[in-house]
């Protein structure tokens, strides 16, 4: 029985390797066909679902990709690569809250400057310049001296200061002078930092 089980596992590994080769060569439909046939006998294999998600992503069928990546995570909540690819797909279909949740799950386990930048970009798309700046700062601290990251951090800081200035102007027009003064001071302090 143990030898039969090992043979079965090595067959799966060989088939998974073929599917990965198909994906690498841009033969996504062949990979999908192979992986779906493997799933018939092994429906709870997170790696098969992940590879299907990857193949569907590259093929451009993002909702099918999302379905399989979610299934990979359902079966194995520690399949971190699935969180990252799932976040990318959610971002592409403009489901930003879901993208953010998955990026942050991945970032908590595998903090990387590139992932921090992707989180910052999601926050920018959501209109949250303050949180975007926070993640650009994290990316910058992980990769100091990168001029692109420094430029993005500077731009995010400018955006936060501009937002504070606009909010202060609105408070001023509504005759909330104390609130306007506080927001103007925050905008000036934020811009100087």
pTM exceeds cut of 0.85 = no
Check pLDDT > 80 for residue 163. no
pLDDT value at residue 59:
96
Q: Which pLDDT tens digit goes with each residue over 22-68?
A: 999 999 999 999 999 999 988 999 999 999 999 999 999 999 999 99
| pLDDT interval class at 171 (50, 70, 90) | confident
Beta strands (DSSP E) in the chain are: none
- Cα 65 to chain centroid distance, Å, stands at 14
The C-alpha atoms of residue 179 and residue 188 are separated, in whole angstroms, by: 14
Longest CA–CA span in the chain (Å) reads: 81
């Amino acid at each position: 029985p143990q030898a039969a089980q090992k043979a079965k596992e090595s067959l799966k590994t060989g088939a998974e390797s073929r599917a990965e080769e198909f994906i690498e060569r841009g033969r996504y439909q062949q990979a999908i066909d192979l992986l779906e046939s493997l799933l018939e006998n092994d429906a709870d294999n997170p790696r098969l679902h992940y590879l299907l998600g990857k193949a569907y992503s590259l093929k451009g069928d993002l909702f099918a990709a999302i379905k399989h990546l979610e299934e990979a995570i359902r079966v194995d909540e520690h399949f971190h690569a699935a969180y990252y690819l799932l976040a990318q797909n959610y971002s592409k279909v403009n489901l930003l809250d879901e993208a953010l949740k998955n990026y942050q799950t991945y970032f908590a386990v595998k903090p990387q400057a590139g992932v921090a930048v992707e989180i910052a970009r999601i926050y920018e798309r959501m209109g949250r310049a303050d949180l975007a700046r926070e993640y650009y700062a994290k990316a910058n601290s992980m990769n100091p001296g990168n001029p692109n990251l420094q430029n993005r951090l500077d731009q995010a800081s400018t955006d936060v200061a501009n937002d504070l200035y606009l909010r202060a102007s609105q408070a001023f027009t509504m005759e909330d002078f104390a609130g306007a003064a506080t927001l103007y001071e925050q905008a000036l302090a934020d811009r100087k930092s």
